[in-house]
Structure 1
Amino acid sequence: MTFAECARLVLVRHAMPVIDPETPAELWHLGPEGRAAARALAPLIAGSAAHYVSSTEPKALETLREIAPHVPIETDAGFAEVRRPRATQAGSRATRSSPASRPRSPATASRRPLPPPRW
């Protein structure tokens, strides 16, 4: 099937993993909250896809298995997350600053954030 033949393409980022600073992020597994969040997506996604592809990372594969537990899943390393130096992985979510949490310059301080996209 080509992209042009697809009625829709659904991309899902992995659900919340258990963050272990001693383990590389690409080896993290889902925690109970992540599994529950993935299962909550199942009614919206499962059964609507002709083909399921996941990265080889456990958290991504586990997310898709929670969404569509009885379908074949192809893995592709090309879907893996961007690799970061090990030093920045420890507590990555807790210590990583988002653009919203960074100090604003006077020129951008008055700008309001854009609303979320309407899909």
Structure 2
Amino acid sequence: MHMKLQEAIDEAFDQALHELAACRSAEALIWLERAHILTQRRPWLHARSHWLMLRAGWQQGDMREVLGQVPRILAALLFSRIWVPVGNTGRARVSAFQPMPVTEDLQALLASERQQRVPEA
């Protein structure tokens, strides 16, 4: 994995865990949305982002978020390598099938990884 992408993923998860530990679940969810977009093609990390969203929803007492994350965890494990809606933030308040715009900073991180995977002619 591209080093900058890995660092961004690590930072997003670390910050989210820090916010969850401080009972700031709304702030944690912002970091988890970022982690979700960056890890959509990695089943275990993708599922981890959904698991932590479930925890944040539980912390907030948001049963819609909690219940919405359960099928997303399973789908992340089963379908991440086949198809994902690019840019989808992973939250229960949006359709799990809806592609969404990706910010420029995340586009750059994801593009650098795609370039690394494409063999040069």
TM above 0.5, one fold?
no
Q: So what's the TM-score if we normalise by structure 2?
A: 0.30
TM-score by length of 1: 0.30
Higher helix share: 2
